[in-house]
């Protein structure tokens, strides 16, 4: 995408805007050469600088400026390092289970299986153990209502019948006398880890807890969950530790609607969920679970849903969602704490999720999250119901938290077409809110989709034979190897003391590593010269001998010989130093492949990536990284897959030519190109250079057409291109041509990468190849820049979390254009690059994208919550709710069984969850949760044959099971721990007439007053108990908001008082009118002519009072409100309507 930005008025992004870095004239500092075949010469401007003797002063001035720049950026390479992984595991969490259903999937055996696996692998002994603690009521109240907490507390004193009755009023839950205490203990366990992480006692942690929590809402149990652990933890971190930005990642296969509803108006919390959706057919059946839900008001853009529309999703799909969506947004958001709702029911073999991810895949996801928030990461266990898979998934994530390398993915594949469509839709939905996503999706050539389907069919056959593997984790005494030899400093320019490729480069790097204590944490490996046979793997024998002859040449001959090459100087020790540099890289390869170390750095010179098979070029003699790659393949005696990543600012022309026809080596380079005018000049580094013969597609060039590229530009390339292709290639070894001349302050590169940026690039590459990555020094000519940058990379290799990035601006349009050009050149070779912009976003929900569905439900059953099936006999007693029946507001609606079942056999908690109608709010679609909990009274929707066989979304009845933005309350309020009430009989409910008039079709999209406002009061009956009612009746318990932030808009009552019989001021109707509580004008409701809605849209007045039933509705909260500030208006209305004031009970 080549657009250079859009008007801020149309994009309306609410992100940090940092000043642009000052322009830099790179022409005076470019390393330039000529095209192949022309006579060698130096850049005139660089030569002029050298002749005037200004190079030293210029370099010193740049270095001084750079040091000051680092101070302004608050870069602290000696930052205090925190170590240790916390683990909370308490046997008390197993003290509850379902009393009436032994087969309920959420049971104590889940934690037993995890404990056994962790002990088997010796992981508890490597962790810092923390004692679980109980969450206090005040802590739970950060998210949940006091009434709801009190109700849950009373469950400790209930008998089985009472517990079962209360549980039946919720969806997919059971209750036990110990449920409350265990839920408090689970939440407290996460809070204990929050304290430890934010006090720097540990780096990260995992809470192995139950019950799960991410479905729990403000005042509502749901989906096995009582209290929302990660939500409470986020609020706790903000309140107690003054954390400003929290990222919540939910990878449970079920959407965490509870967490989403709690934070969807909060800009300080980003909620990212990746879950099974299947166009609403999968629990919890919410349209709010789809990609189109992005949050409300100030929280717009902070809710991010990646909704899978087929089963069988694999590691590649999840990793693609992380790379393309989560990580870019996280780098712009810059969280200070990351909380993970870590469900493992997406693992292969789980009966609920029916996905095909592996434990290794979750290790990769964990690794990427460890690069955020300075490593402050906490995983809180949610779902997972295949005991073996669950145990392996928890183990893999804990291994990664402990710093163990990510296992190589045995079958990485590529993200499937359905996944890419879901990712594209989410990207397009969020592009208006995040600058870093600009141009993230571009249209591709037609025909890709059909080609994808054919390739996926072939891949599917291979995948069928794959089983859940038992991952092995290497046990290493030393993590990072380091090769350095001061002998390489003897290579020097005898004629120019100010040449940028100076011997001091490696000395300054090594000294800095020693100063920071990093060298002492590495295993120092002895350097050795490369053998002739190793060099001849990449270079011609004639060229090798030509360089060997330079050892005996006189000074004048050396000068002449250097002039025969491009940008080369030669001294008597050049040959031995070049061999030592290449041999050092080989020594490090040997150490990594043998398991002596996991990764390493080679501090070597002269550099190598410009060296051609038969000639020296650009300060380079032997191509060290190429020699090391061939040596690795010789060691394993096969063409092992090797990724060579070249981030030197100059294109590695030599490396490209050596491997351009070899599919076993993927060469990827990011470099300045300047349309062919930047060294080494010509078109070799163009995006159109993609390799040749068998190596077609294995040369990937990202050519920057100008200076000033920053961390954001490189990260954009990483997430959109480098890592997706790398995962598809699935390397066994990663070699980095680690030039640091793209660093801020470099005299040749003219770019602005920071040491922190290099740390993040390194960390993300470490997810590949089982962590086997080697950095080999290439260029970099500002001594401070290269020292700080190599130190930052070494920190990452040693497992230290990267620092927060400072002043991260959006990617530069020129950078996006370069990335897009490369994607266009390579998408025919790499399916992972085939993201497509949806011309019609309905494609995201189209059945065409669903190529595989869940296993069919038996024909005589009905799919219910979390996969349960109703018995055939139950379908005969199902009550029908009109498809567009209005409800009493955007409040919680529960369908309760109307008779006492305490003596009846268990009905297995059968429920059905359905999507609901949508109410537009501020231009966004507000989807509410319909959850009908019943045993005999269940919404009659469709048979299982219709639900599974149909490809269209489920119909949308409006019955709202809502607990959003603080709406809703438990069935019983105000009960205490000392009471044991008859719960069901004490519920106060409102009965809705089944004959309520439907809203006109033309008003479907209007943000109305939720309910009919009591137009037909004779159809509403207030009741205390159920004794006098038919068992087929449907009841709704409605609780308004006890407060809303818009109460300040309520104005004093006019001196003339209120006239509740006043007609609509626009159309003159007396039917169902509302009074605006700001200006006290009267207009009709949405169900008449919608004039009150039009008044709200024109005036933005939020609160209105019903002339029929005196209820108060807030348009901005989309909820009923009952508060003391409304009492004067309500009392005046009551006085006018009935001739007397309201009683205190009102």
- Positions marked active-site: 215, 610
Give the pairing of strands 773-777 and 599-603. parallel
Contact criterion met (CB below 8 Å) for 757 and 710: yes
Q: Which two three-digit tokens encode residue 640?
A: 């092992």
Termini Cα distance of the chain: 60
Cα(561)–Cα(569) distance, rounded to whole angstroms? 8
Give the pairing of strands 1073-1076 and 988-991. unpaired
Q: Which two three-digit tokens encode residue 834?
A: 């085939």
Residues 6+ apart with CB under 8 A from 31: 43, 46, 500, 567, 618, 650, 679, 748
Q: Which two three-digit tokens encode residue 354?
A: 């029916």
Contact criterion met (CB below 8 Å) for 1053 and 1080: yes
Tell me the β-bridge partners of 617.
Answer: 566, 620
Q: Which two three-digit tokens encode residue 403?
A: 């710093």
Contact criterion met (CB below 8 Å) for 260 and 927: no
Tell me the β-bridge partners of 601.
Answer: 482, 775
Computed from CA positions of residues 71, 82, 715, 13, in that sequence, does the dihedral angle turn out positive or negative?
negative
Cα(999)–Cα(997) distance, rounded to whole angstroms? 7
* DSSP secondary structure, 292-341, as one string: T---SGGGTTSEEEEEE-SS---HHHHHHHIIIIIHHHHHHH--SEEEEE
Give the pairing of strands 85-89 and 869-870. unpaired
Four-CA torsion 509, 42, 668, 662, nearest 10 degrees:
-120
Residues 6+ apart with CB under 8 A from 1087: 886, 997, 999, 1000, 1003, 1008, 1012, 1013, 1015, 1072
Give the pairing of strands 1112-1114 and 1082-1084. unpaired
Q: Which two three-digit tokens encode residue 685?
A: 């580094």
Cα(283)–Cα(345) distance, rounded to whole angstroms? 13
Give the pairing of strands 1112-1114 and 1119-1120. antiparallel
Residue reference for tokens 């893999």: 396
Residue 483, burial from CB neighbour count under 10 angstroms (0-12, 13-18, 19+): buried
CA angle centred on 983, ends 162 and 176, rounded to 5°: 35
- Name the helix (H) or strand (E) containing 484: strand 480-484
Contact criterion met (CB below 8 Å) for 745 and 784: yes
Computed from CA positions of residues 302, 307, 312, 313, in that sequence, does the dihedral angle turn out positive or negative?
negative
């Amino acid at each position: 995408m080549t657009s250079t930005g859009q008007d801020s008025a149309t994009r309306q992004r609410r992100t940090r805007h940092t000043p642009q870095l000052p322009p830099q004239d790179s022409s005076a500092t470019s390393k330039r050469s000529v095209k192949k075949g022309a006579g060698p010469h130096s850049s005139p401007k660089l030569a002029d600088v050298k002749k005037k003797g200004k190079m030293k002063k210029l370099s010193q001035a740049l270095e001084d400026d750079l040091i000051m720049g680092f101070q302004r950026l608050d870069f602290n390479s000696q930052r205090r390092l925190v170590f240790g992984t916390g683990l909370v595991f308490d046997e008390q969490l197993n003290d509850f289970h379902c009393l009436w259903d032994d087969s309920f999937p959420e049971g104590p055996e889940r934690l037993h299986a995890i404990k056994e696996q962790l002990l088997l692998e010796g992981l508890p002994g490597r962790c810092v153990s923390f004692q679980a603690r109980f969450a206090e009521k005040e802590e739970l109240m950060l998210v949940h209502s006091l009434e709801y907490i009190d109700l849950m507390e009373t469950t400790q004193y209930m008998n089985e019948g009472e517990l079962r009755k209360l549980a039946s009023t919720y969806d997919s839950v059971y209750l036990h006398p110990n449920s409350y205490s265990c839920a408090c203990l689970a939440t407290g366990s996460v809070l204990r880890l929050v304290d430890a992480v934010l006090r720097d006692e540990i780096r990260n942690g995992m809470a192995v807890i139950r019950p799960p929590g991410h479905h729990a809402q403000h005042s509502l149990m749901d989906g096995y969950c009582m209290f929302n652990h990660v939500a409470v933890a986020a609020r706790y971190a903000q309140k107690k530790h003054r954390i400003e930005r929290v990222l919540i990642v939910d990878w449970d296969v079920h959407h965490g609607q509870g967490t989403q509803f709690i934070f969807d108006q909060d800009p300080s919390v980003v909620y990212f969920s990746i879950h099974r959706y299947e166009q609403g057919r999968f629990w919890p059946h919410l349209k709010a679970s789809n990609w189109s839900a992005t949050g409300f008001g100030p929280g717009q853009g902070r809710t991010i849903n990646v909704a899978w529309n087929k089963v069988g999703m694999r590691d590649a799909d999840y990793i693609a969602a992380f790379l393309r969506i989560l990580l870019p947004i996280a780098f712009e958001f810059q969280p200070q704490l990351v909380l993970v709702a870590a469900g493992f029911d997406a693992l292969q073999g789980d009966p609920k999720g029916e996905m095909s991810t592996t434990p290794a895949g979750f290790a990769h996801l964990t690794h990427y999250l460890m690069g955020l928030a300075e490593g402050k990461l906490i995983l809180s266990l949610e779902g997972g119901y295949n005991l073996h898979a669950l145990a392996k998934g928890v183990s893999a994530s804990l291994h990664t938290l402990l710093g163990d390398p990510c296992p190589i993915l045995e079958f990485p594949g590529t993200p499937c077409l359905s996944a890419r469509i879901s990712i594209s839709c989410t990207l397009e939905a969020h592009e208006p809110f995040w600058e870093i996503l600009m141009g993230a999706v571009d249209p591709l050539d037609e025909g890709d989709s059909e080609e994808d389907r054919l390739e996926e069919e072939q891949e599917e056959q291979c995948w069928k034979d794959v089983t859940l593997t038992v991952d092995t984790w290497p046990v290493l005494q030393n993590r990072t190897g380091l090769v350095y030899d001061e002998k390489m400093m003897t290579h020097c320019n005898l004629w120019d003391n100010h040449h940028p490729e100076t011997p001091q480069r490696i000395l300054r790097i090594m000294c800095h590593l020693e100063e920071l204590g990093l060298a002492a944490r590495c295993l120092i490996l002895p350097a050795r010269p490369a053998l002739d046979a190793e060099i001849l793997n990449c270079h011609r024998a004639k060229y090798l001998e030509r360089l060997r002859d330079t050892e005996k040449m006189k000074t004048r001959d050396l000068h002449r010989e250097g002039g025969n090459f491009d940008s080369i100087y030669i001294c008597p020790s050049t040959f031995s130093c070049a061999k030592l540099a290449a041999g050092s890289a080989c020594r490090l390869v040997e150490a990594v492949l043998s398991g002596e170390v996991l990764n390493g750095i080679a501090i070597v010179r002269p550099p190598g990536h410009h060296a051609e098979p038969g000639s020296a070029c650009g300060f380079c003699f032997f191509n060290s990284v190429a020699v090391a790659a061939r040596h690795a393949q010789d060691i394993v005696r096969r063409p092992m897959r090797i990724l060579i990543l070249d981030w030197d600012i100059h294109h590695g022309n030599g490396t490209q030519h050596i491997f351009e026809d070899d599919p076993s080596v993927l060469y990827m380079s990011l470099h300045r190109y300047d349309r062919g005018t930047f060294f080494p000049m010509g078109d070799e580094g163009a995006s159109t250079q993609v390799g040749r013969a068998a190596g077609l597609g294995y040369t990937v060039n990202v050519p920057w057409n100008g200076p000033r590229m920053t961390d954001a530009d490189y990260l954009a390339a990483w997430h959109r291109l480098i890592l997706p292709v790398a995962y598809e290639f699935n390397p066994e070894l990663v070699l980095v041509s680690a030039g640091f001349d793209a660093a801020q302050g470099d005299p040749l590169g003219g770019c602005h990468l920071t040491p922190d940026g290099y740390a993040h690039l390194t960390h993300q590459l470490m997810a590949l190849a089982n962590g086997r990555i080697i950095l080999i020094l290439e260029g970099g000519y500002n001594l401070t820049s290269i020292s700080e940058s190599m130190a930052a990379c070494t920190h990452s290799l040693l497992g230290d979390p990267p620092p927060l990035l400072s002043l991260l601006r959006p990617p530069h349009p020129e950078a996006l254009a370069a990335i897009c050009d490369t994607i266009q050149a390579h998408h025919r070779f790499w399916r992972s690059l085939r993201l497509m912009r949806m011309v019609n976003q309905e494609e995201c929900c189209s059945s065409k994208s669903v190529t595989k569905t869940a296993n069919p439900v038996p024909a005589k059953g009905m799919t219910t919550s979390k996969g349960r099936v109703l018995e055939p006999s139950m379908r005969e007693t199902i009550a029908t709710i009109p498809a567009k029946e209005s409800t009493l507001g955007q409040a919680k609606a529960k369908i309760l069984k109307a008779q006492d079942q305490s003596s009846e056999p268990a009905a297995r908690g059968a429920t059905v969850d359905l999507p609901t109608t949508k109410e537009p709010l501020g231009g966004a679609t507000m989807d509410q949760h319909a959850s009908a909990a019943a045993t005999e009274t269940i919404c009659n929707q469709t048979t299982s044959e219709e639900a599974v066989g149909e490809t269209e979304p489920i119909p949308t009845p409006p019955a709202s099971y809502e607990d959003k933005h603080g709406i809703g309350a438990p069935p019983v309020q105000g009960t205490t721990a000392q009471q044991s009430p008859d719960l069901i009989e004490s519920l106060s409910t409102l009965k809705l007439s089944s004959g309520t008039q439907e809203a006109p079709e033309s008003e479907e999209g209007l943000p109305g007053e939720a309910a009919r406002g009591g137009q037909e009061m004779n159809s509403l009956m207030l009741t205390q108990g159920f004794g006098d009612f038919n068992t087929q009746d449907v009841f709704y318990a409605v609780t308004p908001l006890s407060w809303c932030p818009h109460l300040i808009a309520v104005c004093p009552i006019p001196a003339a008082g209120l006239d509740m019989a006043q007609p609509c001021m626009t159309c003159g109707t007396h039917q169902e009118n509302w009074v605006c509580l700001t200006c006290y004008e009267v207009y009709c409701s949405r169900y008449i002519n919608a004039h009150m809605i039009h008044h709200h849209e024109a005036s933005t007045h939020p609160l209105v009072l019903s002339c029929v039933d005196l209820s108060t509705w807030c348009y901005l909260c989309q909820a009923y409100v009952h508060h003391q500030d409304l009492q004067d208006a309500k009392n005046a209305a009551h006085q006018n309507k009935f001739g007397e004031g309201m009683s205190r009970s009102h």
